[in-house]
């Protein structure tokens, strides 16, 4: 095992009835990397994410987060262990402001271990952390806006901030730009680039420009199997990948 691996997938298999959808996936995510999972529609990318986040049970295999097995745990337990899946589990209250939503998220992480003597200090620390998150996702002018009144890309920004608020070990994003205009996509891609620094991300994304510019490493999933893992250059030049997925004629 790679000592730097923060997330290890070992021999993962998933069948739906007779259909083998994930057919033996081994993958190690290195702490601090941005790892893209690409592959044709129906390859099993979302299913793999569901297995990792606990939404679907494994047919076979093991998943370790920071060396500890997480398969068999509930999505909430896995989330509490430090794996955050954005855009799926959102705890946004539409009637509360951006600031209030994030304050709740940060306080949830602090838990209920308040003691009276340090309460004032804690309130200040939470406030500072919330403001820092708001800056990171570029929502400073919208800090007091009601969450339900944000634009689509602003809501996504808030969702990303909510994810960061739990200070996760691994962040998983499944098609974060789906359904967005080009302008909104560019905005969210920039945001993901910013927040990925110093964090571990696993991302499924169709836009190859984004994938190749954002990722440290890329894995290619075809019919439930990873056919290649490597740096963007390695993937770009991998004959098997070109043949199976990217197409000889596609210049990337």
Question: Considering CB distances under 5 to 8 angstroms, the limit depending on partner class, which of Mg ion, ligand ADP, none binds residue 54?
Answer: none
Instruction: Compute the least distance from the CB of residue 107 to ligand ADP, in Å.
Output: 34
If one asks whether residue 57 binds ligand ADP (CB under 6 A), the answer comes out as no
Candidate residues 11, 42, 67, 95; the one interacting with ligand ADP per rule CB under 6 A: 42
Question: Considering CB distances under 5 to 8 angstroms, the limit depending on partner class, which of Mg ion, ligand ADP, none binds residue 247?
Answer: none
Candidate residues 45, 85, 142, 156; the one interacting with ligand ADP per rule CB under 6 A: 45
If one asks whether residue 47 binds ligand ADP (CB under 6 A), the answer comes out as yes
If one asks whether residue 171 binds ligand ADP (CB under 6 A), the answer comes out as no
Instruction: Compute the least distance from the CB of residue 203 to ligand ADP, in Å.
Output: 13
Distance from C-alpha of 213 to C-alpha of 33, rounded to nearest angstrom: 13
* Strands 217-222 and 201-204, sheet pairing: unpaired
Of the pair 16, 119, the CB lying nearest ligand ADP is at 16
Question: Considering CB distances under 5 to 8 angstroms, the limit depending on partner class, which of Mg ion, ligand ADP, none binds residue 35?
Answer: none
Instruction: Compute the least distance from the CB of residue 171 to ligand ADP, in Å.
Output: 18
If one asks whether residue 83 binds ligand ADP (CB under 6 A), the answer comes out as no
If one asks whether residue 176 binds ligand ADP (CB under 6 A), the answer comes out as no
If one asks whether residue 200 binds ligand ADP (CB under 6 A), the answer comes out as no
Instruction: Indicate the burial class of 242 (C-beta count within 10 angstroms; 0-12, 13-18, 19 or more).
Output: middle
Question: Considering CB distances under 5 to 8 angstroms, the limit depending on partner class, which of ligand ADP, Mg ion, none binds residue 41?
Answer: ligand ADP
Binding positions for Mg ion, rule: CB under 5 A: 45-46
- Size of interface with ligand ADP, in residues (CB under 6 A): 11
Distance from C-alpha of 9 to C-alpha of 69, rounded to nearest angstrom: 10
End-to-end CA distance of the chain: 32
Question: Of all residues in this chain, which one has the CB nearest to Mg ion in the complex?
Answer: 46
If one asks whether residue 43 binds ligand ADP (CB under 6 A), the answer comes out as yes
If one asks whether residue 41 binds ligand ADP (CB under 6 A), the answer comes out as yes
Distance from C-alpha of 128 to C-alpha of 250, rounded to nearest angstrom: 47
If one asks whether residue 39 binds ligand ADP (CB under 6 A), the answer comes out as yes
Interacting residue ranges for ligand ADP, rule: CB under 6 A = 16, 19, 21, 39, 41-47
């Amino acid at each position: 095992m790679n000592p730097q691996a923060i997330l290890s997938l070992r021999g993962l298999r998933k069948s739906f009835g007779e259909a083998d959808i994930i057919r033996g996936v081994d993958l190690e995510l290195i702490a601090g990397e941005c790892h893209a999972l690409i592959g044709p529609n129906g390859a099993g990318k979302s299913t793999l994410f569901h297995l990792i986040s606990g939404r679907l049970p494994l047919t076979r295999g093991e998943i370790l987060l920071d060396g500890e097995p997480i398969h068999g745990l509930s999505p909430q337990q896995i989330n509490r262990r430090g794996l955050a899946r954005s855009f799926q589990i959102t705890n946004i209250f539409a009637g509360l402001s951006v600031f209030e939503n994030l304050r709740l998220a940060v306080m949830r992480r602090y838990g209920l271990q308040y003691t009276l003597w340090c309460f004032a200090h804690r309130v200040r620390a939470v406030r500072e952390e919330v403001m820092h998150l708001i800056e990171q996702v570029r929502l400073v002018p919208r800090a007091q806006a009601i969450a339900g009144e944000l634009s689509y890309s602003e809501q996504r920004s808030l969702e990303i901030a909510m994810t960061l608020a739990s200070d996760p070990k691994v962040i998983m994003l499944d098609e974060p730009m789906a359904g967005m205009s080009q302008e909104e996509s560019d905005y969210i891609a920039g945001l993901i680039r910013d927040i990925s620094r110093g964090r571990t991300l696993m991302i499924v994304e169709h836009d190859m420009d984004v994938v190749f510019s954002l990722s440290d490493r890329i894995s290619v999933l075809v019919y439930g199997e990873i056919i290649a893992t490597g740096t963007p250059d390695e993937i770009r030049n991998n004959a098997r990948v070109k043949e199976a997925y990217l197409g000889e004629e596609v210049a990337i």
